Amino acid sequence: KAGLIMGDYSRSAINTSFNTGTIIGVCCHIFGYDIPPKLIPSFSWGDERYDIEKAIQDISNWKKMKGLEMNDEEKQLLYELYVNIK
């Protein structure tokens, strides 16, 4: 048995309930569901695809708020992941 598995830079709306065993990819924004599906692919924005440029900008802004900076290696990894997801 497993609980929720959620990738880096993913987040959900307040009071979202997940089923046990739900898997959420990287860079997902979960909202608009009564109960989300058990598999949510990386770069999901609700039930649409999250634009990579918007994702990187949002992550950069979040990191700046924390006093951190997104490096080129992180950006490249996200770009590669994005283009390899069908």
- For 3-56, the pLDDT digits (tens) are 999 999 999 999 999 999 999 999 999 999 999 999 999 999 999 999 999 999
SS3 18: coil
CA-CA distance, 63 to 43, in Å (whole number)?
18
H or E segment to which residue 41 belongs:
none
Residue type, 21: G
Token code pair at residue 57 = 């900008």
* Burial of 30 per CB tally in 10 Å (0-12, 13-18, 19+): buried
Residue with tokens 């739900």: 22
Q: What is the pTM of this model?
A: 0.87
